[in-house]
Amino acid sequence: MSDAWLKIAGKDFDRYVLTYHDPVGVTTLFNDNICKFARGNVKIEVDSPLLRGFTYFEEDPEGRHEVAYEINKEEFFKEFSSVF
């Protein structure tokens, strides 16, 4: 996936640059102990000018989304620093 991104948008100042914008999200792919998740449905308000962009989450064991609600900071930094 990184290769595809670099071909499209990674060129910067005559060198290739890749920046991961969500290291917590990436580390949870490899370590299940970093975050606790809840399953449910996420809805985004798009009609109300006052509340546009407001995010609603309703827990549902059969829901379409999984949302992190707690992070184990020590476990995250241990995993993150293990690759550098």
DSSP SS3 for 6: helix
For the entire predicted model, the pTM comes to 0.65
pLDDT value of residue 9: 57
Give the count of beta carbons closer than 10 Å to the beta carbon of residue 41.
14
Are residues 57 and 41 in contact, defined by beta-carbon separation less than 8 angstroms? yes
Eight-class DSSP state of 21: S
> Nearest Cα to 26, choosing from 61, 56, 60, 2?
2
pLDDT at residue 79 above 70? Answer: yes
Write down the domain spans for the chain. Answer: 23-81
Give the position of tokens 């609603």. 56
pLDDT at residue 1 above 50? Answer: no
